[in-house]
Amino acid sequence: MREEVSLAPLTTLQVGGAARFFAEVHSAEQMLAGIRWAAGRAIPVFVLGGGSNIVVSDRGFAGLVLRNAITGIELRDGEDDSKLLTAGAGDQWDDVVKLAVANNLSGVECLSGIPGSVGATPIQNVGAYGQEIRETMVALDAIDTTSGAIVTIGSNECGFGYRTSRFKTIDAGRFVIIRVTYRLLYNGSPTIKYADVGRYLEERGRDKPGLGEVREAVLSIRRAKAMVIDPGDPDSRSVGSFFVNPVVTLEQVAEIERRFAGNQQSPGRIRSFAGPGGMVKLSAAWLIEQSGFVKGYQYGGVGLSSKHSLAIVARSGGTASEVMELARKIQARVRAETGVQLTPEPTFVGRE
């Protein structure tokens, strides 16, 4: 157990204060011991994974931060041509994708390059380029902090939605994930649903790409947007996409079109995708840009990535408070210009 440990270096945004108490745990038993230690002192607990989707307050966290370092990847036979891959919550997610592709297992190749750890994937229902975790996840093991028991939760019990799950909503903070199991298809065809991926492959003459080629395509596209962590690229000092793409009705789309009608700087066709249940998924990046926030926009020590308007980045000297101020500024302007409320994707830790 350590005291007053800076959390900024443990996050991809690299801002924020210190944890009052801090410990790295390597087993479910150590995790449970830490939870009980905090309960005995009536202090809050935050479980830290890869730090890729959190904003830590400049004032830090006044309780115990447990860094989840439970690792261990196992492959075993599943039904028919499937394989079951189980990984510890502290394993790096992209290591899992790399291993799957190397073993000719399809189902997660489009999730290449996403920073963070395995434990976060079901919480966020992580998704990108046409794939989501709920499509391959079988079950997870977790500590139920209300009872101290280790429970197994099936995929159909996770309450998955677009970039969400029961672990972010009704059961936020209740479960600490320790391992996750995915079902992947041996020798399966790669997923190519997004135009960016298809175009990248077509330009290189890959008419029948394999899993490895799709992984490289996704990694290249993400790097071009600074969505792969790179110490040499200041634009990657972010939490990735700061806002989720909003899902709206056809009536809301028509209202946005009316708002822009007659505007000499009309943005043209709204950038959108088919959403669930006849709804429409709008590009949050497009909404941000049409509301006056361009790539590279600066706000004090923070700003928008010069490569992707959906990423808020922290420059040298930037603070968590500035990140939150800019996020609220963007939300207010987008709401005023388009009538759409943007929802932040990262978790906010500590007090502002």
Contacts of residues 325-330 at CB distance under 8 Å and 24 or more positions apart, as own/partner, are 325/299, 325/300, 326/299, 326/300, 326/302, 327/242, 327/243, 329/299, 330/243, 330/288, 330/291, 330/293
Q: State the Cα–Cα distance between residues 189 and 173, nearest whole angstrom.
A: 37
Encode pLDDT of 221-267 as tens digits.
999 999 998 888 999 999 999 999 999 999 998 888 888 775 545 44
Please write the tens of the pLDDT for every residue from 267-316: 457 888 777 788 999 999 999 999 999 999 999 999 999 999 999 999 98
Q: 48, 52, 54: which is closest to 70 by C-alpha? A: 48
**Which residue of the set 57, 165, 241, 305 is catalytic?**
241
Residue 163 annotated in active site: yes
CB 53 within 8 A of CB 121: no
Calpha distance 245→224 (Å, rounded): 20
First to last CA, the chain: 25
In tens digits, the chain (352 residues) has pLDDT values of 999 999 999 999 999 999 999 999 999 999 999 999 999 999 999 999 999 999 999 999 999 999 999 999 999 999 889 999 999 999 999 999 999 999 999 999 999 999 999 999 999 999 999 999 999 999 999 999 999 999 999 999 999 998 899 999 999 999 999 999 999 999 999 999 998 999 999 999 988 999 999 999 999 999 999 999 888 899 999 999 999 999 999 999 888 888 877 554 544 578 887 777 889 999 999 999 999 999 999 999 999 999 999 999 999 899 999 999 999 999 999 999 999 999 999 999 997 5
Domains and CATH numbers, the chain: 2-68 (3.30.43.10), 74-224 (3.30.465.10), 234-349 (3.90.78.10)
Q: How many CB atoms lie within 10 A of CB 247?
A: 17
Catalytic residue among 109, 213, 322, 345: 345
- Is 138 within 8 Å of 84 (Cβ atoms)? yes
pTM summary value? 0.91
Which pLDDT belongs to residue 264? Answer: 46
Q: Is 241 a catalytic residue?
A: yes
Separation of alpha carbons 316 and 325, rounded Å: 17
Among 163, 271, 315, 333, the active-site one is 163
Phi, then psi, of 62 in degrees rounded to 5: -85, 20
Give the integer Cα–Cα distance in Å for 38 and 43: 5
